[in-house]
Chain A
Amino acid sequence: MAMLLSGVSFLISEDKILIEFKGSYLAYSYDHNQIYGEGVFFHILSYDVTCDHLKADIGSRIFYAYGSVVLIKEGERFEGDEFFFDPEENSGTLIRYSDEVGVIRFGLEEETALPSDVLETLTLSKIQSSLFYFTCEVAQITEVYEVLGERVVLHLEGLESVGFKKFKLSSGLKQRGSGFSLDKIWFTKSQGIIARGSYLFRTPDRVNSLTQLNYEERSVLKDYVGPDRQIDILNSTSVVFDKNTNASFTGNYNSSNLWNASFVLNRRWNEKVTTNFDVSYNKPINFKGETWLGFTSIINGGHLGDLSLAGRYEVQDQVLGSLAYGNTFLDHFTFLLNSTYSKIKIVGSDDFSEILTGGVSLSYDSRVFNLSTDYYLNHDLFGSQLLSQPQLRVGVNPFSFYGGILVASLTNIFIYSDVKAGTEHQNAYSNNTIFSLSTQPMYVAPSFSLNMSVAVEQFLEKEDRNFTSGGFIGYATFEVARGFFLEGLYNVQSRRRSRDWLVEGTTSQDLSALFRANPSDKLNSWISVSYDPKNRQWTQSFADISFEVIRKWKFHTLINYDFILNKLNNIDLFLVREAGRVQLRFVWRSLSKQFSVELIPR
């Protein structure tokens, strides 16, 4: 069983405080990353601001004060009913509802539209029903939108818990500032001690660099065979030079002597042309490293079509190249052309495989039918093999009749292949025809409906491995009571192979019944059982049962029973607490016989 020793995340570096709120009551929901306050005081734009209520959605950066809002600065006093403010931009909009809507803007040069989002769904009840929420007298928002609190009380599932003099309320958020972070330390009986740390360096709108370190110490494990420890270092850096140019670097080193690195430079020349250049090095375990240089260019030619060019060269003389062109004309015609060339070293030898492929396709698509011709070429220059394969595809688009109750479609594909290998020459052809007919749901009674579909396929080829297959699916559903359904599914599939006088084949049948219950959000379950009429035996049963145990806690189980082996194949049990941006799950899995507690970011 996995044992969590510690799951802390904290920044060692100090972030600047963007704004500080003091209130008679302040509550922060970790689940939703939102603040609600009453009797609040704060300072912005050199004004002291007081208000009856405060709502802040940290994720979307919306700050909204309302109810008797007063802004005071030496000799200046403004009163209003609402105040929207942006502590980062140092601006705000004060609104007063009297005989007309009066608006005063602070720090905003242009006459912006009246803010409309008053965080309707952010309510005190929502905050108080969070899995984790904190109440405090002082809350601070840092410049990277972390939330700090002073004289904090943690409320766990509504119950007042421990208090803290100062606490990072939003600990574990994705938003973080530059600096080192020790993300996790775990111990498991199977993996040993695991430590994860990271270092973030960023400058606004220009550089973003994250280095992660994963460390596993296995020497503490009994009977462990393998290296005592493993270290992984990963770096991902992006740099924005200007609005048309940016670059990125990724690097990964593993103590088992595996590492790779790549650098990509992206350049947008104009509205239609974009190019990226890349250099990469990859060192797999036990193999020689490879260094590749490459480029990709995309040209958007509008009505002239789109062209893509790519080329890569490896210093040991390996080459990859590709070209693709596509265009749509006269509304219904589409033309596609592509070609690739590869010269790649064969693993374990000094030889190279060298392959040239090409394809061209012209298709016509109308309301009634579609027609497509393709030509595919594969030339193995090393093995002196040439495959050319023209193809013709004709289909009738699905059409409905009998007042839309029946829908039919028909498709035919003809493929011809020609292979030249040295002096050898072979050809082959095949034809595949598929017809399908299905019905829309037919209501025999207001609570009872039927659905059926049949399909037939015939495959013919030069080698005479011909077959014909067909299938039928029937589906019925009956609503027993509101939200409770009884469903039945029958399907039969048959495949017949004919060669001269011999006809052979297989037939399979399946009959399934399913009971579904979803009368409300609190109950959503189904249970099914399958029967094989041909062999006259029960086969499988599945169940997916989910219901709300108590407020926001859901029980969920997945069960599979095999009647043929007469055993319970699998049963998974989940107890889930939906908590806004995280989900807390207690899980037991029968296959691994493991119980785990998971806190999953959403």
Chain B
Amino acid sequence: MIKKAAVIFCVASFLAGVGCISFKIEPLPEPEQLVETLVLCKRVIPDGELLAPADITTDFVMDDPVVLCFVALKNVGQAMTLKWKWYAPDGTLFKETVDVPVNESEAYLEAVTAYDRLDTQQEESFEGRWMVVILVNGKLAGRRTFIVR
């Protein structure tokens, strides 16, 4: 008898604790986060039909010939544009790409990989804390910070 009372008490406690249970919650629309991976690396390597980042880091030295910003998108079903913007340590825009069209045929693509590069073998001093942002359809989709020593 006491065990039964204990079970009823526990179930009542649980329901009181969690609030009213409803089994008719409307499902939310599918999320759209496209950017699966956004990393800085020293090189990219083939990965089947796609690319994969290699030597991932946020700490570069002047001897590194390039800084690569690699992006992987998933579940791409519409045409879109990608754009990279590189900001120098003083906060000024150092380089930007044009809007790169992706999936103009509007086919369903399970994954898309792409990258842009910052060439450090130029005359200017590149030392300092840099930023790169990536825009999908003109809207910010990710930002990474890195150091060049």
Residues of A within 8 A of B (CB): 5-6, 8-10, 24-27, 36, 38, 52-53, 66-68, 81-82, 97-101, 116, 118, 120, 123-125, 135-137, 151-153, 160, 162-168, 171, 182, 185, 187, 193, 219-220
Q: Once bound together, how far apart are the Cα atoms of A74 and B140, in whole Å?
A: 26
Q: Are B6 and A67 in contact (CB under 8 A)?
A: no
Given known contacts A27-B31, A67-B141, A164-B25, is B133 in contact with A97 (CB within 8 Å)?
A: yes
Q: Are B17 and A38 in contact (CB under 8 A)?
A: no
Asked whether any CB of chain A lies closer than 8 Å to the CB of B9, the reply is: yes
Q: Once bound together, how far apart are the Cα atoms of A551 and B56, in whole Å?
A: 24
Q: How far is the CB of A420 from chain B (nearest CB, A)?
A: 67
A24-B28, A38-B32, A163-B24 are known; give 8 further A-B pairs, CB within 8 A: A5-B7, A6-B14, A8-B17, A66-B141, A97-B85, A182-B13, A185-B10, A187-B10
B: contact size bracket:
35 or more
Mask, B1-24, CB within 8 Å of A = 1, is: 011001101110110111111111
Q: Are B25 and A8 in contact (CB under 8 A)?
A: no
Q: Once bound together, how far apart are the Cα atoms of A163 and B23, in whole Å?
A: 5
Asked whether any CB of chain A lies closer than 8 Å to the CB of B44, the reply is: no
Q: How far is the CB of B2 from chain A (nearest CB, A)?
A: 5
Q: Are A123 and B36 in contact (CB under 8 A)?
A: yes
Q: Are B17 and A9 in contact (CB under 8 A)?
A: yes
Q: Once bound together, how far apart are the Cα atoms of A66 and B133, in whole Å?
A: 11
Q: Are B29 and A24 in contact (CB under 8 A)?
A: yes
Q: Are B131 and A101 in contact (CB under 8 A)?
A: yes
Residues of A within 8 A of B30 (CB): 25
Q: Are A8 and B13 in contact (CB under 8 A)?
A: yes
**Which residue of the partner chain A has the closest CB to B129?**
A116
Complex interface residues of chain B between 85 and 113 (CB less than 8 A to chain A): 85, 87, 91-93
Q: Are A166 and B29 in contact (CB under 8 A)?
A: no
Residues of B within 8 A of A27 (CB): 31
Q: Once bound together, how far apart are the Cα atoms of A24 and B28, in whole Å?
A: 7
Q: Are A99 and B92 in contact (CB under 8 A)?
A: yes
Residues of B within 8 A of A (CB): 2-3, 6-7, 9-11, 13-14, 16-33, 36, 38, 85, 87, 91-93, 131, 133, 139-145
Q: Are A8 and B33 in contact (CB under 8 A)?
A: no
**Which residue of the partner chain B has the closest CB to A53?**
B33
Q: Are B144 and A120 in contact (CB under 8 A)?
A: yes
Q: Once bound together, how far apart are the Cα atoms of A172 and B11, in whole Å?
A: 17
Q: Once bound together, how far apart are the Cα atoms of A95 and B2, in whole Å?
A: 62
Q: Are B133 and A123 in contact (CB under 8 A)?
A: no
Residues of A within 8 A of B28 (CB): 24-26, 135-137, 153
Most A CB contacts (10 A, CB to CB) among B9, B140, B142 go to B140
**Which residue of the partner chain A has the closest CB to B91?**
A101
Q: How far is the CB of A137 from chain B (nearest CB, A)?
A: 7
Given known contacts A6-B13, A24-B28, A120-B144, is B22 in contact with A163 (CB within 8 Å)?
A: yes
Given known contacts A100-B93, A125-B36, A166-B20, is B131 in contact with A25 (CB within 8 Å)?
A: no
Q: How far is the CB of B74 from chain A (nearest CB, A)?
A: 8
Q: Once bound together, how far apart are the Cα atoms of A25 and B133, in whole Å?
A: 24
Q: List 20 A-B contacts (CB under 8 A).
A: A6-B11, A8-B17, A10-B16, A25-B30, A27-B31, A66-B140, A81-B139, A82-B140, A97-B85, A99-B93, A100-B92, A118-B142, A152-B25, A163-B24, A164-B20, A165-B22, A168-B17, A182-B17, A193-B6, A220-B2
Residue from B11, B93, B139 within 8 A of A67 (CB atoms):
B139
Which 5 residue pairs are nearest across A and B when measured between Cβ atoms? Answer: A163-B25, A6-B10, A10-B17, A81-B140, A8-B17
Residues of B within 8 A of A26 (CB): 28
Residues of B within 8 A of A116 (CB): 145
Q: Once bound together, how far apart are the Cα atoms of A193 and B4, in whole Å?
A: 12
Residues of A within 8 A of B36 (CB): 123, 125
Q: Are A171 and B33 in contact (CB under 8 A)?
A: no
Q: Are A185 and B9 in contact (CB under 8 A)?
A: yes
Q: How far is the CB of A308 from chain B (nearest CB, A)?
A: 44
Residue from A24, A123, A151, A162 within 8 A of B21 (CB atoms):
A162
Q: Are A163 and B21 in contact (CB under 8 A)?
A: yes
Q: Are B6 and A100 in contact (CB under 8 A)?
A: no
Q: Are B27 and A153 in contact (CB under 8 A)?
A: yes
Q: Once bound together, how far apart are the Cα atoms of A152 and B9, in whole Å?
A: 25
Given known contacts A153-B27, A185-B9, is B140 in contact with A165 (CB within 8 Å)?
A: no
Most A CB contacts (10 A, CB to CB) among B23, B28, B131 go to B28
Residues of A within 8 A of B93 (CB): 97-100
Residue from A52, A97, A101, A171 within 8 A of B17 (CB atoms):
A171
Q: Once bound together, how far apart are the Cα atoms of A123 and B17, in whole Å?
A: 30
Residues of A within 8 A of B143 (CB): 66, 82, 118
Q: Once bound together, how far apart are the Cα atoms of A72 and B17, in whole Å?
A: 38
Q: Once bound together, how far apart are the Cα atoms of A166 and B36, in whole Å?
A: 31
Residues of B within 8 A of A101 (CB): 87, 91-92, 131
Q: Are A187 and B3 in contact (CB under 8 A)?
A: yes
**Which residue of the partner chain B has the closest CB to A167?**
B19
Q: Are A38 and B33 in contact (CB under 8 A)?
A: yes
Q: How far is the CB of A134 from chain B (nearest CB, A)?
A: 11
Q: Are A164 and B13 in contact (CB under 8 A)?
A: no
Q: Once bound together, how far apart are the Cα atoms of A152 and B28, in whole Å?
A: 10
Q: How far is the CB of A90 from chain B (nearest CB, A)?
A: 24
**Which residue of the partner chain A has the closest CB to B37?**
A123
**Which residue of the partner chain B has the closest CB to A149?**
B19
Q: How far is the CB of A190 from chain B (nearest CB, A)?
A: 14
Q: Are A100 and B31 in contact (CB under 8 A)?
A: no
**Which residue of the partner chain A has the closest CB to B2?**
A220
**Which residue of the partner chain A has the closest CB to B12?**
A6
Q: Once bound together, how far apart are the Cα atoms of A116 and B89, in whole Å?
A: 13
Residues of A within 8 A of B21 (CB): 162-164
Q: Are B18 and A8 in contact (CB under 8 A)?
A: yes
